[in-house]
Amino acid sequence: MNLPNIISELVKTQNEFNSNGYADCFTENAIVFDEGKTHNGKAEIKNWIEKANNEYKASMKPLEYNENDRILSAEVSGTFPGSPAVLKYHFELENGLIQSLKIV
């Protein structure tokens, strides 16, 4: 599967539970939508993923990437109810970084 470099880096840092590296994949004013909540800016995104890593220990296995729509389907496994689950990651990219991520 041919993923953009920044999405490959996001998957790698998620699977290493590297909250700093994960947050570095985003622009300074990026937005993440997950579980009905919005996280604004790099610092808030870092806090969100750090808490999620500690609570769920979720790892990602990419299954399919739609380049036109920038949607990654991934199997996510961890300590959360319903694990593993297939989630869709909707990306907006800007200057090689993630500007927006919606997880459904």
- Quote the radius of gyration of the chain (alpha carbons, Å): 12
What pLDDT is attached to residue 61? 98
Residue with tokens 């996280």: 39
Q: What is the CATH number of the domain that holds 12?
A: 3.10.450.50
What pLDDT is attached to residue 1? 85
Q: How far is CA 67 from CA 30, 57, 59, in A?
A: 20, 28, 22
Task: Tell me the residue length of the chain.
Answer: 104
> Comparing C-alpha atoms, which of 25, 23, 20 is closest to residue 9?
25
Q: Whole domain around residue 45: which residue ranges? A: 5-103
Mean pLDDT, contiguous 10-residue spans, the chain (104 residues): 95 97 98 96 97 95 97 97 96 97 97
Q: How far apart are CA 104 and CA 100, in angstroms?
A: 13
Tokens read off for 83: 């694990």
User: Per the structure, how many domains does the chain have?
Assistant: 1
Tokens read off for 59: 């790892």
